[in-house]
Chain A
Protein backbone atom coordinates (compact mmCIF):
# COMPACT_ATOMS: atom_id res chain seq x y z
CA UNK A 1 0.00 0.00 0.00
CA UNK A 2 1.50 3.41 -0.90
CA UNK A 3 1.57 5.66 2.12
CA UNK A 4 -0.72 8.68 2.13
CA UNK A 5 0.88 12.05 1.65
CA UNK A 6 0.78 13.82 4.98
CA UNK A 7 -1.95 16.40 4.71
CA UNK A 8 -2.73 16.67 8.37
CA UNK A 9 -0.70 19.52 9.75
CA UNK A 10 -1.95 23.03 10.45
CA UNK A 11 0.25 24.27 7.65
CA UNK A 12 -1.75 22.18 5.20
CA UNK A 13 -4.89 24.03 6.34
CA UNK A 14 -3.12 27.26 5.45
CA UNK A 15 -2.02 25.87 2.11
CA UNK A 16 -5.58 24.82 1.34
CA UNK A 17 -6.88 28.32 2.09
CA UNK A 18 -4.24 29.81 -0.19
CA UNK A 19 -5.07 27.35 -2.95
CA UNK A 20 -8.80 28.15 -2.78
CA UNK A 21 -7.97 31.83 -2.89
CA UNK A 22 -5.78 31.24 -5.95
CA UNK A 23 -8.53 29.28 -7.73
CA UNK A 24 -10.99 32.06 -6.99
CA UNK A 25 -8.73 34.85 -8.19
CA UNK A 26 -7.63 33.07 -11.31
CA UNK A 27 -10.79 31.25 -12.40
CA UNK A 28 -13.66 32.85 -10.46
CA UNK A 29 -14.77 29.58 -8.87
CA UNK A 30 -15.35 30.23 -5.20
CA UNK A 31 -14.79 27.22 -2.93
CA UNK A 32 -13.66 29.31 0.01
CA UNK A 33 -16.80 28.58 2.03
CA UNK A 34 -17.12 24.90 1.18
CA UNK A 35 -16.74 22.21 3.82
CA UNK A 36 -13.04 22.09 4.71
CA UNK A 37 -13.04 18.37 5.43
CA UNK A 38 -14.55 17.67 2.03
CA UNK A 39 -12.06 19.87 0.20
CA UNK A 40 -9.16 18.36 2.12
CA UNK A 41 -10.27 14.83 1.25
CA UNK A 42 -10.60 15.63 -2.43
CA UNK A 43 -7.20 17.35 -2.52
CA UNK A 44 -5.58 14.42 -0.70
CA UNK A 45 -6.97 12.10 -3.37
CA UNK A 46 -5.62 14.33 -6.12
CA UNK A 47 -2.21 14.42 -4.43
CA UNK A 48 -2.10 10.64 -4.36
CA UNK A 49 -3.14 10.29 -7.99
CA UNK A 50 -0.86 13.01 -9.32
CA UNK A 51 2.30 12.11 -7.44
CA UNK A 52 2.67 15.71 -6.25
CA UNK A 53 3.94 16.12 -2.73
CA UNK A 54 2.14 19.13 -1.30
CA UNK A 55 -0.89 21.37 -1.66
CA UNK A 56 1.46 24.20 -2.61
CA UNK A 57 2.56 22.16 -5.61
CA UNK A 58 -1.08 21.71 -6.55
CA UNK A 59 -1.42 25.47 -6.35
CA UNK A 60 1.53 25.98 -8.68
CA UNK A 61 0.05 23.57 -11.22
CA UNK A 62 -3.42 25.07 -10.97
CA UNK A 63 -2.06 28.50 -11.79
CA UNK A 64 0.10 27.40 -14.71
CA UNK A 65 -1.61 24.37 -16.23
CA UNK A 66 -5.21 24.88 -17.45
CA UNK A 67 -5.71 21.14 -17.99
CA UNK A 68 -4.71 20.41 -14.41
CA UNK A 69 -6.94 23.24 -13.21
CA UNK A 70 -9.93 21.85 -15.03
CA UNK A 71 -9.22 18.43 -13.56
CA UNK A 72 -9.07 19.90 -10.08
CA UNK A 73 -12.39 21.69 -10.52
CA UNK A 74 -13.88 18.28 -11.33
CA UNK A 75 -12.29 16.87 -8.19
CA UNK A 76 -13.93 19.50 -6.04
CA UNK A 77 -17.38 18.96 -7.50
CA UNK A 78 -19.12 15.76 -6.42
CA UNK A 79 -21.49 14.75 -9.20
CA UNK A 80 -22.70 11.42 -7.83
CA UNK A 81 -26.45 11.22 -8.44
CA UNK A 82 -29.28 8.82 -9.29
CA UNK A 83 -32.67 8.67 -10.93
CA UNK A 84 -35.43 8.77 -8.33
CA UNK A 85 -32.83 8.98 -5.57
CA UNK A 86 -34.70 8.35 -2.29
CA UNK A 87 -37.78 6.85 -3.98
CA UNK A 88 -40.13 7.65 -1.05
CA UNK A 89 -39.25 11.32 -1.53
CA UNK A 90 -40.57 11.21 -5.11
CA UNK A 91 -43.64 9.36 -3.94
CA UNK A 92 -44.23 12.12 -1.44
CA UNK A 93 -43.84 14.76 -4.16
CA UNK A 94 -46.24 12.89 -6.40
CA UNK A 95 -48.90 12.59 -3.74
CA UNK A 96 -48.53 15.86 -1.89
CA UNK A 97 -46.80 18.48 -3.99
CA UNK A 98 -48.22 17.70 -7.44
CA UNK A 99 -51.74 18.64 -6.22
CA UNK A 100 -50.36 22.06 -5.24
CA UNK A 101 -48.62 22.52 -8.60
CA UNK A 102 -51.83 21.54 -10.40
CA UNK A 103 -53.41 24.77 -9.24
CA UNK A 104 -51.01 26.82 -11.43
CA UNK A 105 -51.51 27.42 -15.13
CA UNK A 106 -47.76 27.55 -15.77
CA UNK A 107 -45.25 25.77 -13.60
CA UNK A 108 -41.62 26.73 -13.26
CA UNK A 109 -39.30 24.29 -11.53
CA UNK A 110 -35.62 24.81 -10.77
CA UNK A 111 -33.20 21.97 -10.17
CA UNK A 112 -30.21 23.73 -8.62
CA UNK A 113 -27.08 21.55 -8.79
CA UNK A 114 -28.62 19.07 -11.24
CA UNK A 115 -25.31 17.33 -11.92
CA UNK A 116 -25.57 14.86 -14.82
CA UNK A 117 -29.34 15.23 -15.10
CA UNK A 118 -30.77 12.06 -13.56
CA UNK A 119 -32.86 14.05 -11.12
CA UNK A 120 -34.19 16.22 -13.93
CA UNK A 121 -35.33 13.28 -16.06
CA UNK A 122 -36.97 11.79 -12.99
CA UNK A 123 -38.96 14.97 -12.48
CA UNK A 124 -39.88 15.18 -16.17
CA UNK A 125 -41.25 11.63 -16.01
CA UNK A 126 -43.21 12.40 -12.89
CA UNK A 127 -44.73 15.56 -14.39
CA UNK A 128 -45.66 13.65 -17.55
CA UNK A 129 -47.44 10.96 -15.64
CA UNK A 130 -49.34 13.56 -13.65
CA UNK A 131 -50.35 15.46 -16.78
CA UNK A 132 -48.39 18.59 -15.89
CA UNK A 133 -45.40 18.32 -18.16
CA UNK A 134 -46.75 20.34 -21.10
CA UNK A 135 -47.36 23.38 -18.94
CA UNK A 136 -44.08 23.15 -17.05
CA UNK A 137 -40.64 24.57 -17.64
CA UNK A 138 -37.77 22.89 -15.83
CA UNK A 139 -34.65 24.97 -15.30
CA UNK A 140 -31.75 22.60 -14.72
CA UNK A 141 -28.56 24.29 -13.59
CA UNK A 142 -25.11 23.35 -12.39
CA UNK A 143 -21.73 25.06 -12.38
CA UNK A 144 -20.01 21.98 -13.75
CA UNK A 145 -20.01 22.19 -17.54
CA UNK A 146 -18.94 18.55 -17.98
CA UNK A 147 -21.83 17.37 -15.87
CA UNK A 148 -24.24 19.64 -17.77
CA UNK A 149 -23.05 18.22 -21.10
CA UNK A 150 -23.82 14.71 -19.90
CA UNK A 151 -27.18 15.91 -18.64
CA UNK A 152 -28.04 17.45 -22.01
CA UNK A 153 -27.09 14.22 -23.78
CA UNK A 154 -29.26 12.12 -21.54
CA UNK A 155 -27.38 8.91 -22.20
CA UNK A 156 -26.72 6.59 -19.27
CA UNK A 157 -25.30 3.12 -18.76
CA UNK A 158 -27.94 0.49 -19.51
CA UNK A 159 -26.78 -1.53 -16.57
CA UNK A 160 -27.64 1.12 -14.01
CA UNK A 161 -31.14 1.50 -15.47
CA UNK A 162 -32.04 -1.74 -13.71
CA UNK A 163 -31.43 -0.10 -10.36
CA UNK A 164 -33.36 2.95 -11.47
CA UNK A 165 -36.27 0.77 -12.54
CA UNK A 166 -36.65 -0.39 -8.99
CA UNK A 167 -36.35 3.21 -7.73
CA UNK A 168 -38.99 4.28 -10.25
CA UNK A 169 -41.42 1.63 -9.09
CA UNK A 170 -40.87 2.46 -5.42
CA UNK A 171 -41.43 6.12 -6.30
CA UNK A 172 -44.94 5.26 -7.44
CA UNK A 173 -44.23 5.10 -11.18
CA UNK A 174 -47.37 4.44 -13.20
CA UNK A 175 -45.96 2.93 -16.36
CA UNK A 176 -43.10 0.73 -17.37
CA UNK A 177 -39.82 2.54 -16.80
CA UNK A 178 -38.45 1.19 -20.09
CA UNK A 179 -41.01 3.37 -21.92
CA UNK A 180 -38.80 6.35 -21.12
CA UNK A 181 -35.60 5.34 -22.86
CA UNK A 182 -34.28 3.42 -25.83
CA UNK A 183 -31.77 0.74 -25.00
CA UNK A 184 -28.86 0.66 -27.42
CA UNK A 185 -26.26 -1.98 -26.60
CA UNK A 186 -24.90 -0.96 -23.21
CA UNK A 187 -26.46 2.49 -23.32
CA UNK A 188 -29.85 3.88 -22.47
CA UNK A 189 -30.89 6.97 -24.41
CA UNK A 190 -33.55 9.02 -22.65
CA UNK A 191 -36.69 9.78 -24.62
CA UNK A 192 -36.29 13.09 -26.46
CA UNK A 193 -39.67 14.36 -25.27
CA UNK A 194 -38.30 14.43 -21.73
CA UNK A 195 -35.96 17.23 -22.77
CA UNK A 196 -38.55 19.36 -24.51
CA UNK A 197 -39.52 21.39 -21.46
CA UNK A 198 -36.02 21.53 -19.96
CA UNK A 199 -33.73 24.56 -20.08
CA UNK A 200 -30.16 23.59 -19.21
CA UNK A 201 -27.94 26.38 -17.97
CA UNK A 202 -24.66 27.02 -16.26
CA UNK A 203 -25.34 28.74 -12.96
CA UNK A 204 -23.09 29.05 -9.95
CA UNK A 205 -25.02 29.20 -6.69
CA UNK A 206 -22.19 31.04 -4.96
CA UNK A 207 -21.52 33.78 -7.48
CA UNK A 208 -24.60 34.06 -9.75
CA UNK A 209 -27.97 35.56 -8.87
CA UNK A 210 -31.71 35.09 -9.25
CA UNK A 211 -32.75 34.43 -12.86
CA UNK A 212 -36.48 33.65 -12.78
CA UNK A 213 -39.43 33.29 -10.46
CA UNK A 214 -40.02 29.66 -9.51
CA UNK A 215 -42.95 27.63 -8.21
CA UNK A 216 -40.67 24.91 -6.98
CA UNK A 217 -36.95 24.62 -6.26
CA UNK A 218 -35.14 21.33 -5.72
CA UNK A 219 -31.63 21.60 -4.37
CA UNK A 220 -30.62 18.23 -3.06
CA UNK A 221 -27.23 17.15 -1.77
CA UNK A 222 -25.54 20.38 -2.78
CA UNK A 223 -25.83 22.40 0.44
CA UNK A 224 -24.11 19.65 2.46
CA UNK A 225 -20.87 20.85 0.87
CA UNK A 226 -21.37 24.47 1.98
CA UNK A 227 -20.57 25.94 5.39
CA UNK A 228 -23.25 27.67 7.45
CA UNK A 229 -22.69 31.17 6.09
CA UNK A 230 -22.74 30.01 2.52
CA UNK A 231 -25.87 27.94 3.08
CA UNK A 232 -27.55 30.98 4.52
CA UNK A 233 -26.59 33.03 1.47
CA UNK A 234 -27.78 30.42 -1.00
CA UNK A 235 -31.03 30.03 0.94
CA UNK A 236 -31.57 33.76 0.48
CA UNK A 237 -31.17 33.22 -3.26
CA UNK A 238 -33.79 30.46 -3.21
CA UNK A 239 -36.15 32.53 -1.11
CA UNK A 240 -35.88 35.44 -3.53
CA UNK A 241 -36.49 33.08 -6.47
CA UNK A 242 -39.61 31.40 -5.06
CA UNK A 243 -43.13 32.71 -5.53
CA UNK A 244 -45.24 32.99 -2.40
CA UNK A 245 -46.53 29.51 -1.67
CA UNK A 246 -43.62 28.05 -3.68
CA UNK A 247 -42.07 24.73 -2.70
CA UNK A 248 -38.49 24.12 -1.60
CA UNK A 249 -37.19 20.54 -1.56
CA UNK A 250 -33.84 19.74 0.04
CA UNK A 251 -31.76 16.56 0.35
CA UNK A 252 -32.74 13.98 2.94
CA UNK A 253 -30.11 15.21 5.42
CA UNK A 254 -30.36 18.94 4.73
CA UNK A 255 -32.41 21.56 6.55
CA UNK A 256 -33.22 25.23 6.85
CA UNK A 257 -31.75 25.54 10.31
CA UNK A 258 -28.79 27.63 9.14
CA UNK A 259 -31.00 30.03 7.25
CA UNK A 260 -32.26 33.22 8.84
CA UNK A 261 -35.36 32.75 6.66
CA UNK A 262 -36.44 29.49 8.28
CA UNK A 263 -39.48 31.18 9.85
CA UNK A 264 -40.71 32.26 6.44
CA UNK A 265 -41.33 28.67 5.47
CA UNK A 266 -43.87 26.13 6.56
CA UNK A 267 -42.46 22.65 6.90
CA UNK A 268 -44.64 20.37 4.77
CA UNK A 269 -42.77 17.22 5.66
CA UNK A 270 -40.06 16.66 8.22
CA UNK A 271 -38.74 13.39 6.83
CA UNK A 272 -38.60 14.40 3.17
CA UNK A 273 -37.41 17.96 3.88
CA UNK A 274 -40.06 19.73 1.87
CA UNK A 275 -40.98 23.33 2.70
CA UNK A 276 -43.51 25.87 1.50
CA UNK A 277 -42.77 29.58 1.37
CA UNK A 278 -45.40 31.40 3.42
CA UNK A 279 -47.70 33.94 1.82
Chain B
Protein backbone atom coordinates (compact mmCIF):
# COMPACT_ATOMS: atom_id res chain seq x y z
CA UNK B 1 0.00 0.00 0.00
CA UNK B 2 1.33 3.39 -0.90
CA UNK B 3 0.18 6.95 -0.99
CA UNK B 4 0.71 9.33 -3.79
CA UNK B 5 0.30 12.23 -1.38
CA UNK B 6 1.80 12.90 2.04
CA UNK B 7 0.05 16.01 3.28
CA UNK B 8 -2.67 18.57 2.62
CA UNK B 9 -2.25 22.29 3.27
CA UNK B 10 -5.29 24.57 3.39
CA UNK B 11 -5.76 28.29 3.62
CA UNK B 12 -8.86 30.24 4.50
CA UNK B 13 -9.66 33.71 5.70
CA UNK B 14 -13.02 35.48 6.03
CA UNK B 15 -15.72 32.82 6.10
CA UNK B 16 -13.21 30.13 7.01
CA UNK B 17 -14.52 29.19 10.42
CA UNK B 18 -17.96 28.13 9.22
CA UNK B 19 -16.35 26.35 6.29
CA UNK B 20 -14.11 24.37 8.64
CA UNK B 21 -17.15 23.37 10.69
CA UNK B 22 -18.58 21.80 7.59
CA UNK B 23 -15.40 20.28 6.19
CA UNK B 24 -13.63 18.74 9.17
CA UNK B 25 -16.56 16.81 10.72
CA UNK B 26 -17.21 15.29 7.28
CA UNK B 27 -13.84 13.53 7.18
CA UNK B 28 -13.78 9.89 8.32
CA UNK B 29 -11.69 8.66 11.24
CA UNK B 30 -9.47 6.67 8.87
CA UNK B 31 -8.56 9.75 6.85
CA UNK B 32 -4.83 9.24 6.65
CA UNK B 33 -3.34 12.43 5.25
CA UNK B 34 -2.25 15.04 7.77
CA UNK B 35 -3.99 18.37 7.20
CA UNK B 36 -2.32 21.69 7.97
CA UNK B 37 -4.55 24.76 8.12
CA UNK B 38 -3.87 28.46 8.13
CA UNK B 39 -6.99 30.37 9.09
CA UNK B 40 -6.50 34.13 9.37
CA UNK B 41 -7.42 35.08 12.89
CA UNK B 42 -6.80 38.04 15.18
CA UNK B 43 -3.56 38.04 17.13
CA UNK B 44 -5.06 37.87 20.60
CA UNK B 45 -7.79 35.33 19.93
CA UNK B 46 -7.87 32.18 22.03
CA UNK B 47 -8.09 28.69 20.60
CA UNK B 48 -11.60 27.81 21.74
CA UNK B 49 -12.66 27.36 18.14
CA UNK B 50 -9.97 24.72 17.70
CA UNK B 51 -11.34 22.80 20.70
CA UNK B 52 -14.83 23.21 19.34
CA UNK B 53 -13.82 21.79 15.95
CA UNK B 54 -12.07 18.96 17.71
CA UNK B 55 -15.19 17.92 19.60
CA UNK B 56 -17.18 18.04 16.35
CA UNK B 57 -14.76 15.88 14.36
CA UNK B 58 -13.48 12.34 14.28
CA UNK B 59 -9.96 13.48 13.49
CA UNK B 60 -7.64 14.91 16.11
CA UNK B 61 -7.56 18.69 15.66
CA UNK B 62 -4.91 20.69 17.46
CA UNK B 63 -3.15 24.01 17.51
CA UNK B 64 0.48 23.73 16.42
CA UNK B 65 3.32 23.88 18.90
CA UNK B 66 6.78 24.51 17.57
CA UNK B 67 8.56 21.34 16.41
CA UNK B 68 5.47 19.14 16.54
CA UNK B 69 5.94 16.14 14.27
CA UNK B 70 3.50 15.98 11.35
CA UNK B 71 1.61 12.70 11.62
CA UNK B 72 -1.27 11.05 9.75
CA UNK B 73 -4.73 11.34 11.23
CA UNK B 74 -4.14 14.81 12.60
CA UNK B 75 -5.36 18.23 11.66
CA UNK B 76 -2.94 21.00 12.58
CA UNK B 77 -4.06 24.58 12.95
CA UNK B 78 -1.70 27.57 12.89
CA UNK B 79 -1.63 29.51 16.18
CA UNK B 80 -2.62 33.19 16.15
CA UNK B 81 0.24 35.64 15.53
CA UNK B 82 2.76 33.04 14.28
CA UNK B 83 3.73 31.99 10.79
CA UNK B 84 3.97 28.22 10.32
CA UNK B 85 6.76 26.60 8.31
CA UNK B 86 7.45 22.94 7.52
CA UNK B 87 10.95 21.57 8.06
CA UNK B 88 12.67 18.88 6.00
CA UNK B 89 12.25 16.45 8.90
CA UNK B 90 8.46 16.98 8.72
CA UNK B 91 8.22 19.01 11.89
CA UNK B 92 6.78 22.49 12.27
CA UNK B 93 8.64 25.71 12.90
CA UNK B 94 6.94 28.89 14.05
CA UNK B 95 8.06 32.43 13.32
CA UNK B 96 7.01 35.92 14.38
CA UNK B 97 8.43 37.37 11.17
CA UNK B 98 6.72 40.42 9.62
CA UNK B 99 3.20 39.90 8.37
CA UNK B 100 2.84 38.66 4.80
CA UNK B 101 -0.20 39.92 2.86
CA UNK B 102 -1.17 41.70 6.10
CA UNK B 103 -1.47 38.32 7.76
CA UNK B 104 0.32 36.33 10.42
CA UNK B 105 -0.13 33.39 10.07
CA UNK B 106 0.12 33.70 6.30
CA UNK B 107 -1.06 31.04 3.89
CA UNK B 108 1.77 31.78 1.43
CA UNK B 109 4.41 31.17 4.11
CA UNK B 110 2.96 27.74 4.94
CA UNK B 111 2.40 26.73 1.32
CA UNK B 112 5.87 27.74 0.14
CA UNK B 113 7.72 25.89 2.87
CA UNK B 114 5.47 22.81 2.67
CA UNK B 115 6.05 22.69 -1.08
CA UNK B 116 9.80 22.66 -0.57
CA UNK B 117 9.48 19.59 1.64
CA UNK B 118 6.65 17.59 0.03
CA UNK B 119 7.05 18.67 -3.62
CA UNK B 120 4.72 16.56 -5.80
CA UNK B 121 3.33 14.77 -2.76
CA UNK B 122 1.49 17.86 -1.53
CA UNK B 123 -2.11 18.92 -1.99
CA UNK B 124 -2.84 22.63 -1.60
CA UNK B 125 -6.31 24.15 -1.24
CA UNK B 126 -7.40 27.79 -1.18
CA UNK B 127 -10.82 28.49 0.32
CA UNK B 128 -12.96 31.54 1.04
CA UNK B 129 -11.33 34.86 1.91
CA UNK B 130 -11.32 38.52 1.03
CA UNK B 131 -7.66 39.10 0.16
CA UNK B 132 -5.06 37.34 -2.02
CA UNK B 133 -3.02 35.36 0.50
CA UNK B 134 -2.37 31.82 -0.74
CA UNK B 135 -2.14 32.72 -4.42
CA UNK B 136 1.66 32.84 -4.59
CA UNK B 137 1.88 29.76 -2.36
CA UNK B 138 -0.46 27.75 -4.52
CA UNK B 139 1.59 28.63 -7.57
CA UNK B 140 4.66 27.36 -5.74
CA UNK B 141 2.87 24.08 -5.02
CA UNK B 142 1.98 23.74 -8.68
CA UNK B 143 5.56 24.46 -9.74
CA UNK B 144 6.70 21.75 -7.34
CA UNK B 145 4.38 19.24 -9.01
CA UNK B 146 1.75 19.19 -6.27
CA UNK B 147 -2.01 19.07 -6.70
CA UNK B 148 -3.84 22.40 -6.55
CA UNK B 149 -7.48 22.84 -5.58
CA UNK B 150 -9.50 26.04 -5.22
CA UNK B 151 -12.99 26.49 -3.87
CA UNK B 152 -15.30 27.46 -6.74
CA UNK B 153 -15.42 31.27 -6.22
CA UNK B 154 -19.16 31.62 -6.78
CA UNK B 155 -19.77 29.10 -3.97
CA UNK B 156 -17.30 30.69 -1.55
CA UNK B 157 -18.60 33.06 1.11
CA UNK B 158 -15.86 35.51 0.04
CA UNK B 159 -14.55 35.03 -3.47
CA UNK B 160 -11.44 37.24 -3.75
CA UNK B 161 -9.02 34.73 -2.33
CA UNK B 162 -10.15 31.86 -4.59
CA UNK B 163 -10.18 34.24 -7.57
CA UNK B 164 -6.65 35.46 -6.85
CA UNK B 165 -5.42 31.86 -6.53
CA UNK B 166 -7.01 30.86 -9.82
CA UNK B 167 -5.48 33.90 -11.53
CA UNK B 168 -2.02 33.12 -10.18
CA UNK B 169 -1.65 29.54 -11.30
CA UNK B 170 -3.08 26.65 -13.25
CA UNK B 171 -5.49 25.04 -10.84
CA UNK B 172 -6.16 21.31 -11.08
CA UNK B 173 -9.63 21.40 -9.52
CA UNK B 174 -12.05 24.28 -9.04
CA UNK B 175 -14.93 22.85 -7.01
CA UNK B 176 -17.57 23.68 -4.43
CA UNK B 177 -16.91 22.41 -0.91
CA UNK B 178 -19.34 19.49 -1.18
CA UNK B 179 -17.28 18.12 -4.08
CA UNK B 180 -13.92 18.85 -2.47
CA UNK B 181 -14.81 16.63 0.49
CA UNK B 182 -15.28 13.36 -1.50
CA UNK B 183 -12.24 14.24 -3.63
CA UNK B 184 -10.06 14.52 -0.52
CA UNK B 185 -11.42 11.28 0.92
CA UNK B 186 -10.64 9.60 -2.37
CA UNK B 187 -7.11 11.05 -2.53
CA UNK B 188 -6.45 9.99 1.04
CA UNK B 189 -7.15 6.32 0.28
CA UNK B 190 -3.98 4.31 -0.12
CA UNK B 191 -3.18 3.19 -3.66
CA UNK B 192 -3.45 -0.60 -3.92
CA UNK B 193 -0.71 -1.93 -6.16
Known: A228-B67, A253-B79, A255-B65. A38 touches B115 (CB 8 A): no
Q: What residues of B have a CB within 8 angstroms of the CB of A37 in the complex? A: 85-88, 93, 113, 116-117
- Judge if B112 is at the interface, Cβ distance under 8 Å: yes
B-chain residues with CB within 8 Å of residue A221 when the two chains form the complex: 96
Q: A1-B168, A37-B86, A37-B113 are in contact. Are A253 and B65 (CB under 8 A)?
A: yes
**B136 CB–A CB distance under 8 Å:** yes
Residues of A within 8 A of B112 (CB): 4, 41, 44
Does A21 make an interface contact (CB < 8 A)? no
CB interface residues, B 60-81, toward A, < 8 Å: 64-67, 79
B85–A41 touching, CB < 8 Å: yes
Query: Complex formed: what's the CA distance from A81 to B98 in Å?
Result: 10
Binary A-proximity of B108-125 (CB < 8 A = 1, otherwise 0): 010011011101000000
Q: Are A80 and B98 in contact (CB under 8 A)?
A: yes
Bound: A255/B94 CA distance, A: 13
Across the two chains, which residue of chain A brings its CB closest to B88?
A: A36
Mark contacts of A25-43 with chain B using CB atoms, 8 A cut-off: 1 yes-contact digit, 0 otherwise: 0000000000111101100
> Is A93 among interface residues, defined by CB-CB distance under 8 A?
no
Check B116–A80 contact: CB distance below 8 A. Answer: no
Q: Is the interface of A mostly helix, strand, loop or mixed?
A: loop
CB contact list, A206-256 vs B, under 8 A: 221, 223-225, 228, 252-255
Is B144 an interface position by the 8 A CB rule?
Answer: yes
Instruction: State whether the Cβ of B18 lies closer than 8 Å to any Cβ in chain A.
Output: no
Q: Which of A1, A13, A38, A252 contacts B85 (CB 8 A)?
A: A38
Q: For this complex, into which size category does the number of interface residues on chain A fall?
A: 20 to 34
B66 / chain A contacts, CB cutoff of 8 Å: 223-224, 253-255
B116 touches A40 (CB 8 A): yes
Residues of A within 8 A of B95 (CB): 35, 38, 41, 78, 224-225
Can you offer 21 A-B residue contacts whose CB atoms are under 8 A? A4-B136, A4-B140, A7-B116, A8-B115, A8-B143, A13-B88, A35-B93, A37-B87, A37-B113, A37-B117, A38-B93, A38-B95, A38-B97, A40-B113, A41-B95, A41-B109, A41-B112, A78-B96, A225-B93, A225-B95, A253-B82
Instruction: Show the binding face of B for A, using Cβ within 8 Å.
Output: 44, 64-67, 79, 82, 85-88, 93-98, 109, 112-113, 115-117, 119, 136, 140, 143-144, 168
